[in-house]
Each structure stands twice: as C-alpha cells, then as structure tokens.
Structure 1
Amino acid sequence: MPPFFKRSRPRREPTPTAGRQSWVDLKEERTTFRLMAQEEGEAPKRPCVLIVRGSFDALGGAERELLQLVRAVDRRWDVVLATLDLPPPAKELLGDANVHLCTPEQHVVWPTGARAELTAAASKHAETVWSNVRIPWDRIDAVHLSVCKGTLEILPLIPGHLSVHYHCLEPPRWLYEDVLHRRLDGRPKRPLWLTRLIFTTQRRRDRRLVKALLNRPGSAISGNSMWIQRRLKSVYGLASDPTKENGEPPLRDGAGRPLEATHLMHVIDIDAWPVEAGASERTDLADAPTLPEPYVMTVGRVSHVKGTWATLRSLSGTGLGLVHVGGGDADDQAALHAEAKRLKIPLVCMPRLSQPGLVGLVRNAHAVVSHAHQEPFGLTPIEAMAVGTPALMVDEGGFQCTMAGVESGRLLRRDDERAWKQAYEDAKNPDLRRAWAEVGRPYVEENFTLPVQIAALERMMGF
C-alpha cells in the first residue's frame, strides 16, 4: 500500500456524533438549505452556484464528469454555468437540466503557436473575454471552478464576498511535468530544458492566480484524489493532511483563508453502468469495427501520458488483442498500428461511441488496462468494476487511490513484465473474475457515485 494511503480510515457505520451523511438523496423533492438563509428567521432557499470551466472543447472524461454533475444537482441547486467554449456535443450532454448559461457572444479562437506559448497569450485572451461575459453576480451564493485552460482567469471578476472552490483536478500538466511533451514511444518532442523555458511565463501566471485564490477568505483548493492533494503540496507549496476525508474543508487562518489543500473525488453516474446488459449495448456496436477475440481495452487519447504504447507491448505473446477508445493524432495512431503489426497483436481503434456502446465494450472485455503515467484520478477502473470487468492498472498516481481499497483487479509495477503476463492469465480464471465482480460494484456504489460527490461538494462549500 502506498505511504499516503495509510491515511485511509476503516469503514464504519455513521454515528450520531458524525453529524453529516456521506451521500444525498437525488430522488427527493427539490431541496432547500437553511444555511442559505440571508437573515435570521428568513425562509430557507436553494443555493445558486456558479460553475466555471474555461472550455469544454476536449469533451473528455473531466468535461463529461462535470456535465453529469450539473445535470444531477438540478433538484438541489440553481446552477449558472459559465464557459468560454461550449461546443454543441457538450451542450447536448446537459440534456434538460435547468441551467443558466453564460458564454461569449462570439466563438472564442484560442491563440496557438510557439509565440502564443511563450507569451501566455491564451491566458491573457481568456482574461479579456471573461470581462465581456455577462454573469448575474447578484444571484450567486458560491463559485465552483474546474481546472482548465482559461478557468482561473475569471478570478479577478469574482466579488470578494463569495466563497470560491477551485477543483484542481491536476496542476496543469503541460506546465509542471514532461509527460505531455513526449512522443508516443516516450522520446522527448524537443529538449526538455527548452520545453521548461517555453512555458516559463505560463507557469508564473498560473502560480500568481493560485496565490490570488488562496489569499481570498472562504476559498478552497482541492485535487480529485489524495494523490493530487499531495501534488498540490509539491507544486504550490500547500500543506497536505493525509487524514483528510473526501470533501472535508481545509483548515483556515484567522481571516478565513485556506492553510492546506484537500480533495474531492470524481465519480460515475452508476445508472449509466447497469448490472445487466441492455439490448442497446449490442445494437450500438453493430456498425463498429470487428473486435478481436479475446481483447483487453484501454481508454484515453493515444499518447505517451496515457501509456498506450506500453499497454500494447505488454500484450506481446498473450494471444490478446487490444481495443482502444479515445482517439488521437493520426500519426500516433498510425505508429501504434505499425507496432501492433510488428508484434502480431490485433488492434482496433474505435470511433466515438454512445454510452451504451462504451458500456458494452467494457462489459465484454477480458480486462480494462492502463499504463498511464501518474494518472491524476482514473475513472476507468471504476467503470470496469461497475460492470464486473477486471481492472489491471499501473501502480501509480490516482489508480492507487481508487483501487487500493478493494480486490477487484490488480495494481502492477510498470516494469514488471512477468506480473503483467500473470495478471492477464489470472483474468481468465472464471472463479477469480466472479470474486472480483462481486466486490467491485458495491465498492463503486459506496464510494464513487453522484450522491457521494454532491454530499462532499456541499460539505466543501458549507451548504
């Protein structure tokens, strides 16, 4: 067990002295909060929360997870969603949620190129655009920021009396790590000293904005796992208490400013991962490429940071094929196919899938696998456990946080080829698969569902 996981407390039944439940009932009637009353004796009201994310253009796991939160809190909060970039596919995922949208009048074109990186042009542009976005500040009770290009740049506009929670899913990795600046096979795209130099101005701006956040009374900064809580310590110099619980607010100084980082974990919509396979899982995959049999599955953009190359090579000699979901650069996908052909490993890169199609793919996989480098959180093992598929993950980063509390797969050292081969073999054992499946879904339901996340976030924001 990793040292920082020693903070895990044994599971216990709620006690009267705890004074707080760890989940909320999303099926109850529309909720009000007595803490939101402005004056003594005033009737309770629903809090109005401004949720901010600079862009939803990538529409990856972080964006989808935030949009599912917006849909889920409809009965509990009034939501104002502010973003500089909300493409139609992202807007569709809001469904019929009652959300007040705040976006620029014109489509935002982000500065790109070497000069833009050197001068932090995208950050400066975001600051300018935010100043022209109309936001109903008089309605807002609290602000929830989701880390992304262009998010923190709204900070100077937020009135000083509002509490601000910054969900820093990860300190921007392109600024503080080299894993995004490497080619698919791990070779640097350019000399790493030059990469560090190019992003100097952006790092300074990021640290300055975080410092401004931490100087605000009532603010908080959290990672999406205990691993990222520790990263916030190493990047921004914040204290990190290893006994901190999910959603537990930070200790504060006399002025109400945070003295430490904390964490708020990601979750899945458990209803979107049913126990029994539905007919749509099969029909939605009817036009997909023919799958190898048997296959393991990996999720995330074809890249070094997601460990796609290492996952493919770990399958050599196992008789297993690889199904990849998540897209990627055309050159990187071509290189991956060439390596698969050289190693005689069947490889299929899937197109964009519907939710039932994705669930069907995971459900029928031999295992879900990842060699991602220091993954901040890692939803993939949770999704796998939800439908009874073994999760075989590299023993690093957020995977240690999501998997250390349950025996529903394996955490494996990156360089232990023998252990990976044995894990692939063990995943064929029907008795072991059954045992993993029996404990996996209950673990997910207890710890990684929307009611758990919303309770933790309301605790963090003091509702």
Structure 2
Amino acid sequence: MRIAIYHNLLSGGAKRALYEETRRLSANHQLDVFTLSSANHEFADLRPYVARHQVYDFQPGALLNSPFGRLNQAIRQADLQRLRSLARRIAQDIEAGNYDLCFVQPCQYESSPSILSYLQHLPTVYYCHEPLRRMYEEMPLRPYENSDSTLRKTLDRFDPLIASYQHALKNNDRKNLRSANLILVNSEFIRNSVRSIYQAEAQVSYLGVDVDWFRPLTEPKQDFVLSVGSLTPLKGFDFLINALALIPEVQRPILVIASNFQNPPEKTYLEQLAQSQKVDLKLEGNVSEERLVQLYNQAKIAVYAAIREPFGLVPVEAMACGTAVVAIRDGGVQETILDGETGLLVARDPEKFAAALQKLLSNPELAQEYGHNGRTHILNHWTWDKANQTLENYLTSV
C-alpha cells in the first residue's frame, strides 16, 4: 500500500512508537510523511524509512507575560484557527497523492488533528494515544501553582477568553476524532476512555518494546530503584518519594528518576520534597538510550506511579531488561504487568507501595525471579514485531 503518515509530535513515547511502526511498515509499504516544523524530527527520526518527508511551516504565536497573560488564550485560539487552515491545505496535498490511506497521529496543540476532518476522499486511521486529558481530568495540585489560587480560579471562571478557547479546543478535538474511519488505541483502558468521553468506538492495537535494545546486560545491581518519565505532575514522582520515606532509613534505597523533559518548578518541588522526607533523590536529565538501558539493568526494582497512564512504556522496557516492577494498579499498566509473576501491582497508597517495595528489596531472589519472568513475558507477548502485525492488519482492513 501507499500510506501517508501525518504527525505533529514532540519527543516522547508517541514519537518513539511511530518510529518503531514506521520502521517495520516500510518493509512492505511505501510511506510518505506529512508533518509540521513544530514537530521534533531528530528524535526517533522517520526520514530513513520514508520516500518523502514533507514539512509544513507552523510555529505557535509567542505568549505574553504578566500582566497581559490572560490574552494568551486568544493567541492559542488564533493558533487553532491557523492549524485548521493549514490542515485543509495538507489534506488537499495528500488527497492529490493517490494514497491508499492516511495514518494519523496526535497533534501537540489540537490533540486529535484537524486533518481528520478535511480528508474526505481517503480512508483515515487515527492512533489516539490518549484523550485531551487536561480538558476532562482533574490535574494534580502543586504548591507552586497555589500562591494566588483562589483569586486566579475566580478570575478564570469568568474569563471569556479562557472559556472560548477551551470550548473551541474541546469541540475541535471531538469533531476530528469522530471523523476518523478507524480509531486505534494503545490499551483497553484508553478504549474505555474514548467510549466514555467521545462516545466513539476504538480498537486496541497495543504498543511494543524493542527487545534487541531493551535487554538484560551483565551489569551488577546497585542500591537504587528507578523511575522514568518527564518531570510533570501526572508522572506521580511525589508519590514515590512519599512511599520511599516510609521505608526505614537504613534500608531505604536511592530513587533515580531518568527524564528528557524537566519542568523547572516540578523539579524544584520534587527536590524539596525529597529533602524534607530524607529520601536520596538523583535526577538524571537528557538520558541517552544507552544510559537508559544501563539504568534499567542496574536498578534493583523499577517503580512506576503515573496517574491514569494510557499504556506505560516504562514497565515493559524494565521487564524487557529483566528487572522486576512495582507499580500502581492504574491505567494501562494493569494490562502489561502480571501481578505476582513479573512484578507487583498495588493500590495508590504509600504504605502499601512501601510494603511491596520492601518485599522485593528484602528478597533479591524473588526480585530476580520476577525479572526473569518479565523478560520471558515480553518476548512472548510485547515485541514490536507482534504489535506491528496487529497494526498492519488494521491498516489493511480499512
């Protein structure tokens, strides 16, 4: 088939997934990429695997500082309109290219991109990694956001620019998603979310892990537990700090957090929390793929406490490296971790999480057994080759 791929993705799990899918699809299909200059093209670079890589110029409007910050909602709404206009043009270019279908990825600004609404004469398959979460979920509160929270919330409630932008964003996202011929999602958890939020049906096409890269090494285990992800509130790193603080200090391991994106206020908040809780926290930024594999192998346990995480690449990467996982029983990780076989799933309760950690820390043989089981589990069920076969079957069905 001739497949057009559209994306406006930053670095991260969604772009890495698209890279793995593109790499494998290119063996049997001709692929062309249509993307925006605002996307990240260097991370998980698609260009070696596609015949054409068309970049359209788009940059969001510059946002204003206080006291004019409330005008930023109008700037964002203008960006949304510019994206719609650009999407119409890109759709025309794609439809002129005689493709069999367009494989559409999320947009960092729109969530479900407007190109889905403008592609009228070509089948579209939209991979929805997650809903527009900030519009439908309560976000975790942070002290650095609460200095004038009462006044700010009151003003926000009556601010017509905020209401107008949020209304436009939600309607745009809903309309675009429901325009897709086929919606794919990365977990049953997100399938249920799409049904609940958008009243739309989706099919599960699981992600995978590169088992040749994420693999056991001969690295000796060191006295730390590892978590991975952007330093943002939804990753639940504060929960991990509070849980580790409940482990007796003489037994308490170091907490290493590896990330590529570090939100400065969140970084400061986590550092101050760790200091107050007497938890030894080490933050590693700009972590290379080589270093990440090394960390997974050196960690005694991988720990994961993300809030309503759609899929969760971290647990499957850890298991692929032969490391046991302790995670919150929440979101998509419930579908990848075998509780009591490859790791432990516990409620979002610091005491229960600390107890689960201590169970494995005090029994290295059990942790090793879980790690071995995890590697076998990944090889049998969670390789990218297996995931891509499912994806390819869906693409050829539309």
Report the TM range for the smaller structure's normalisation. Answer: 0.7 to 0.9
* Preserved contact between residue 344 and residue 356 of structure 2 (Cα < 8 Å): yes
Alignment match, 1:448 = 382
Match of 2:60 among 96, 109, 112: 109
In the alignment, structure 1 segments of 5+ residues that lack a partner are 1-46, 214-218, 239-259, 283-291
CA distance in 2, matches of 1:348, 1:385: 22
Assess, with a 3 A threshold, how the Cα gap between structure 1 residues 449 and 425 changes in structure 2: closer, same or farther. Answer: same
Q: Is the 8 A contact 1:116 1:122 kept in 2?
A: no
Pair 1:261-2:202 in alignment: yes
Which of 294, 297, 310 is matched with 2:239 structurally?
A: 310
The one-letter amino acid paired with 1:125 is: R
Q: Which residue of 1 aligns with 2:113?
A: 152
The Cα of 1:419 is off from its aligned counterpart by: 2.1
Q: Is the 8 A contact 1:393 1:412 kept in 2?
A: yes
Task: Determine helix, strand or coil for the equivalent of 1:392.
Answer: strand
Residue by residue, what CA displacement relative to the aligned partner does 1:160-181 show, whole Å, maximum 9, x if unpaired?
Answer: 2x221111111111222122x6
Query: In 2, distance between residues paired with 1:220 and 1:406?
Result: 36
Q: Residues 121-140 of structure 1: matches in 2 within 5 Å?
A: 121-133=78-90, 134-135=93-94, 137-140=96-99
1:48 and 2:10 equivalent? no
Call closer, same or farther: CA 1:208–1:425 in 2, change over 3 Å: same
**Equivalent position of 1:170 in the other structure:** 130
Deviations along 1:351-408, one digit per CA (max 9) or x if unpaired, are 2122111000111112111221111111111011111111111111111112247721
Give matches, 1:41-440, under 5 Å: 47-53=1-7, 55-57=8-10, 59-84=11-36, 85-90=38-43, 93-94=45-46, 96-104=48-56, 106-110=57-61, 112=63, 114-117=70-73, 120-133=77-90, 134-135=93-94, 137-148=96-107, 149-150=109-110, 152-160=113-121, 162-179=122-139, 182-183=141-142, 191=153, 194=157, 197=163, 199-213=166-180, 219-238=181-200, 260-277=201-218, 294-318=223-247, 319-326=252-259, 327-404=261-338, 407-415=341-349, 417-428=350-361, 429-440=363-374
Shift in Å, 1:425: 1.5
Residue 50 of structure 1 aligns to which amino acid in structure 2?
Answer: A
Separation of aligned partners in 2, 1:99 and 1:407? 44
Q: Distance in 2 between matches of 1:304 and 1:184?
A: 11
Counterpart of 1:138 in 2: which secondary structure?
A: coil
Query: Contact between 1:71 and 1:95, CA under 8 Å: does it hold in 2?
Result: no
Change (3 A) 1:186 1:115: closer
Inter-partner Cα distance in structure 1 for 2:214 and 2:269: 33
1:460 aligns with 2:385: no
AA aligned to 1:422 is A
Letter in 2 for 1:459: N
In the alignment of these two chains, the number of paired residues is 372
- Alpha-carbon distance change, 184 to 139 in structure 1, aligned in 2, over 3 angstroms: farther
| Cα distance, 1:186 vs structure 2 | 9.4
Secondary structure of 2:142's match?
coil
Give the root-mean-square deviation of aligned CA atoms.
2.8
Deviation at 1:308, TM superposition (A): 1.2
Q: % of aligned pairs identical?
A: 24
**Alpha-carbon distance, 1:187 to partner:** 6.7
Tell me if structure 2 keeps the 8 A contact 1:293–1:320.
no
Pick closer, same or farther for the CA change 1:88–1:207 going to 2, 3 Å.
closer
Judging by fraction of residues, say which structure has more helix: 2
Aligned letter for 1:337? E
The residue aligned with 1:34 is none
CA contact (8 A) 2:309 2:332 kept: yes
Shift of 1:88: 4.8
Sort the Cα spacing of 1:388 and 1:423 in 2 relative to 1 into closer, same or farther, 3 A.
Answer: same
Deviation at 1:114, TM superposition (A): 4.4
Aligned residues of 1:303 and 1:309 also touching (Cα < 8 A):
no
1:114–1:132 CA distance, 2 compared to 1 (3 A): farther
User: 1:390, 1:437 within 8 Å by CA — same for their partners in 2?
Assistant: yes
Q: 1:345 to 1:324 in 2, by over 3 A?
A: same
